[in-house]
Amino acid sequence: MKSTPTNQSVDQDPSKRDSPQERSVVVATFNVHTGVDGWGRPYDLVGACRKIDADVLILQELWSRDDEAPAADAIATPLGYSVTSVALATGRLTAPNPEADHRWMKRRDLLHLNQAFYLDSPKPLPKRVRDSNRFRSGEPGSWCLAVLSRIPVEKTAVVDLGPVFRDSARRHVILQRVTVDSRAMTVAGVHMSHLSSGSPVHFQRMRRALNEFDPDVPSVVAGDMNLWGPPVEFLLPGWRRAVVAKTWPAWRPHSQVDHILTHGPIAVESGEVLDPLGSDHRAVRATIGFSRPRTG
């Protein structure tokens, strides 16, 4: 699988990276677009997550049908992860569009008649959409955020970030404390609201949640921020982007909205954006370790 390197290794000596005292951890984030393309055609989501091959994997827009087991479990079980997930919204997932062609999606029209999924919203959808066969035949389910970990998790908190203006989802941040070679680290997964909906409020609440959860240990936050890098760093002062590269849309990316950020004595050894895996977002992956104290 090809990838787009974006950061050079801080320490390229394999013997140092792999030593028991300085184990590296791979963290990744991937917005999966409910496991379907823009026409509603499913792709191999488990296979995509296997290719990402992260120790900690944050997934956004996982779709869990009401009559099935959580989608995160279907990924975690074969790939050896523990899983923590939370539903951010409810809605409907449509069947594959019979008019689908070679493109990832059809250009969206103003009436939203060709979406792959619809979220329940405080603002009702147009009547023409609600009356369409495509909408009415959609299967009800939940739109979820999940953190999958191959590292033993010591403590978990799922924090409600509260409502903001016109947001269809109830945003949460999933916080976990893990221990890597006797050193504690916080990993947080999130799917932020849009700037037009008031996302700075959510960033402020997430900062507070991080400070209350484990303020004195190195931390990593990853997810779809729905925002470019510079304003993300402005809203999270003291945090640094591990990867700087375009992630959306997957077929011809022009913007980075998917981010991995670090805080504290963490060294980013490498970072990359992967080739398309089926979603409209590209996955972001970073290999991190703990910074060495300076001597001499």
Could you give the domains of the chain? 3-290 (3.60.10.10)
Least confident of 16-25, 75-84, 187-196, 270-279: 16-25
- How far is Cα 83 from Cα 58, in angstroms, rounded to an integer? 10
pLDDT tens digits along 245-262: 999 999 999 999 999 999
pLDDT tens digits along 92-143: 999 998 889 999 988 765 456 678 999 987 777 888 888 888 888 899 999 9
SS3 per residue for 92-104: EECCCCCCCCCCC
Mean pLDDT of the chain: 89
Residue carrying the six token digits 């296997």: 50
- Cβ(287)–Cβ(11) below 8 Å: no
First vs last C-alpha separation in the chain: 42
Is the pLDDT at 239 greater than 50? The verdict is: yes
Four-point Cα dihedral 62, 97, 281, 274, nearest 10: 100
pLDDT tens digits along 11-66: 334 334 444 346 899 999 999 999 999 999 999 999 999 999 999 999 999 999 99
Residues 6+ apart with CB under 8 A from 219: 185, 186, 187, 188, 210, 262, 263, 264, 266
Of how many residues is the chain composed? Answer: 296
pLDDT of residue 113: 66
